[in-house]
Homo-oligomer: A and B are copies of this chain.
Amino acid sequence: MTEYEKFKQLIDKGSSLYIPQLSLDCVIFGFHQNQLKVLLLKMRTRHDWALPGGFIHQDETLEVAAARVLKERTGLDNIFLRQFHTFSALERSNPQQAMKDFAMEDLRIDQHHWLAQRFISVGFYALVDFTRVTPQLDELSEICTWYDLDSIPPLMLDHRQILDKALETLRVQLNYQPIGMSLMPELFTMPELQKLYETILGTPLDRRNFQRKILGYHILRRREERRTGVAHKAPYLYSFDIKRYQEALQEGLHKW
Contacts and interface: CB of A to CB of B under 8 A. Distances in A.
Interface residues of A, number: 20
Contact of A21 (B20, B86, B89): B20
B62 A120 contact: yes
Interface in A67-91: 83, 85-86, 88-90
B90 A59 contact: yes
A61 B83 CA distance: 19
B61 A89 contact: yes
B59 A22 contact: no
Interface hub of A22, A61, A88, A118 (most chain B Cβ within 10 A): A88
A63 interface: yes
Interface of A: 19-22, 56, 58-63, 83, 85-86, 88-90, 118, 120, 122
Given A21-B22, A62-B120, 15 more contacts: A19-B21, A19-B22, A19-B120, A20-B20, A22-B22, A22-B120, A56-B88, A56-B120, A58-B118, A60-B90, A61-B90, A62-B86, A63-B88, A83-B86, A86-B122
CB-based closest 4 A-B pairs: A62-B88, A61-B88, A86-B86, A19-B21
